[in-house]
Structure 1
Amino acid sequence: MSGSTSGLVLIDKPQSWTSHDAVARTRRLAGTRKVGHAGTLDPMATGLLILGINSSTRLLTFVVGLDKEYFATIRLGSATTTDDAEGEEVTRASAETVAALAPEAVAAGIAALTGAISQQPSAVSAIKVDGVRAYARVRAGEAVDLPSRPVTVSAFELVGSTPVDGFLDLTVRVECSSGTYVRALARDLGAGLGVGGHLTSLRRTRIGPFRIEEACPLDQLDVASALIGPAAAATRILGRLDLTEQQAIDLGHGKRIDVDAGQNLSQAGPVAAIAPDGRLIGLVEFRGTQAKSLINFPPDETPDEAPDEAPDAAAAGAVDGDA
């Protein structure tokens, strides 16, 4: 594949691979170092990871903040240092206590963690504390107490429950805002029920408009065939403004353009500006009846070509899923 090709690639990340591993493999396959990702997944987690190639790394900023969907397994009856199965167990409830959990109590606990909530992120996370990631401080033996922050859990549904060796495993579906820690939901649900809880599996199935069904397993990835071109990707994320030839030229030169009254001029945030030939000219925002360029894509770029420097997209993401 040409190193100048640009676009987004949807990966189905396997367990035990880090998001950095996925980026490194894609760099080799794509023939370019200009690859970034939007929102990491823990090695334990599987599922949807969105990568940007070349100039389309500029779009990752707008992917990071999209809402996400996960399917997860929460084990009630045991709490760990990391709020997931990779940590050391710190508390365990008796099998009798776990068996006595009423379905109504579990449902009430889930309901209490649904909607607009305040959540304390897991200490073992990628959040930076004075420039150092929290997980690095924890591994160095420091006590890390991260402040709570507002998140939105728009759906927290119990799909099924299974008693396992004195524990109760819950299969759940979660839809949540960016920055939500599914591990923390498991921890808080178990704490609220008085038995402890942690995450034993996590699979991300959606990021904004992108679904896992569109993703390619990492070991089968062919970047050229998997690529979503910059115009198509930006349109799905941000919406679309169709340009005339002259408007495309003017925007490419940094000029403001007049916008037809039929466009939705009230849309907040950027919109993808698309030339008549299907090329992504850039991202614009509306100012009254005009559109102003926020980010331009290279003027010599074809719908799937554009060299550019990749930003540190990995640093912009949240971990876990962390939504």
Structure 2
Amino acid sequence: MAEGQAPEGSARLGERPEGRREPRRPTAPDGLLVVDKPSGWTSHDVVARVRRLAGTRKVGHAGTLDPMATGVLVLGIGRATRLLTYVVGADKEYRATIRLGVSTTTDDAEGEVLARVGAEGVARADLEVGVAALTGAISQVPSSVSAIKVDGQRAYARVRAGEQVELAARPVTVHGFVVHDVAPGVAEGLAVLDVDVTVVCSSGTYIRALARDLGAALGVGGHLTALRRTRVGGYPLAVARTLEQLEAEVAVLPMAVAARATFPARALTEHEASELSFGRRLAAVAGGPVGTAALPVAAFAPDGTLVALLADDDAGRSRPVLVFAPA
């Protein structure tokens, strides 16, 4: 898929006339920033803009969002960029519209049409059966224009270069796949169905691939026409800020607040906080939160400071995978 660019003749938000340089902004504090990404922007575009707004180059994002898509994009600033590796593994929620009757090269509305098959024969009961088959633990082949790397190069870049790209299926979990509305319509003389859905899924799930596979199962093809990410882990759209709002104020979630929103929490004693600051392991708490490599436990000092992220080992110990308050 082509990288999102500003339309010709348009200016990005906050862009200055040539020859004028805006004053450097004060450096924003360490923490996470939840952005409501606009359509047409790549995740890299948003990072570049936030680097300017936050007054630092130390900005990263927790997982790519397609240029066509809008919604929650979690960014880390300063030391909080170290949290992003683990935020990426959190589950996600989307609102989407799937058009049945047309399949495309990119499995979304930005691709070229591959096939057109009238969807007037698709009954609601058939649709629900197809959705149910794509719910739970499934094996999914990502779209060939995904950001997955193949021999060190993004799959979408290889497709743009004219290569045939076939990606291996991978296990994902679709926790919820709910149909809200089904609207019959006509597109270029063809009967189509536009299906509004909510999807809650594990990290690594491609909503475009769900649209493709649902259409294939129903025998009419399908692609995504709209996608809005409404939650990443504990960061919902309600706490997201538009780029226009961030121009006025860079609303950063402090490290401790950001960690509590997504990770299980463990309260430490002063002694435990000191041990972790030296990178030492702690005894796991019976019945307490269990940390894994994908989603560790956030450990907090008695004063509420985020000390470390912990994962449990096979010996019943909690080891620090990331220490924020080293001795």
Partner of 2:290: 267
Shift of 1:116: 1.4
- Unaligned 5+ segments in structure 2 are 1-24
CA 1:229/1:130 → structure 2, altered by over 3 Å: closer, same or farther?
A: same
Pick aligned residue for 2:132 from 81, 86, 111: 111
1:59-208 matches, cutoff 5 A: 59-94=83-118, 98-165=119-186, 166-208=191-233
Q: Provide the alpha-carbon RMSD of the alignment.
A: 2.2
Letter in 1 for 2:53: L
Between Structure 1 and Structure 2, how many residues are aligned? 295
Q: Determine the C-alpha separation between the residues in 2 that align with 1:103 and 1:266.
A: 42
Give yes or no for the alignment of 1:212 onto 2:237.
yes
Cα shift readout 1:226-276 (whole Å, capped 9, x = no counterpart): 2111112222322222233343333223344567x6x64561323222223
Query: Which residue in 1 is equivalent to 2:307?
Result: 281
* Structure number with higher helix proportion: 1
Q: Supply the distance in 1 between the matched residues of 2:192 and 2:104 (Cα, whole angstroms).
A: 14
Write the distance in 1 (CA, Å) between the matches of 2:92 and 2:321.
26
One-letter amino acid matched to 2:131: I
Shift of 1:185: 0.8
Task: Give the match for residue 20 of structure 1.
Answer: 44
Contact 1:265 1:286 in 2 (8 A): no
1:4-25 residue CA offsets vs partner (Å, 9 max, x unmatched)? 6211111110111111111111
Structure with higher RCO (Cα < 8 A, 6+ apart): 1
Provide the secondary structure at the position in 1 that maps to 2:162.
coil
Q: Measured at CA, do residues 129 and 257 of structure 1 come closer, stay the same or move farther in structure 2, by a change above 3 Å?
A: closer
Q: d(CA) in 2 for partners of 1:246 and 1:111?
A: 50
SS at match of 1:216: coil
* Aligned mates of 2:321, 2:133 — CA distance in 1: 40
8 Å Cα contact 1:9/1:223 also seen in 2? no
**TM-score of the superposed pair, with normalisation by structure 2:** 0.84
Task: List gaps (5 residues or longer) in structure 1.
Answer: 301-323
d(CA) in 2 for partners of 1:110 and 1:292? 40
The 5 A counterparts of 1:284-299 are 284-286=310-312, 291-299=318-326
- Partner secondary structure for residue 99 of structure 1: coil
Letter aligned with residue 205 of structure 2: T
Q: Deviations over 1:31-66 (max 9, x none)?
A: 111111111111100000000111111111111111
TM-score for both structures, normalised by structure 1: 0.85
Residues 176 and 198 in structure 2, CA contact (< 8 A), matched pair in contact too: yes
CA offsets 1:280-317 (integer angstroms, 9 cap, x no match): 122234566764332111559xxxxxxxxxxxxxxxxx
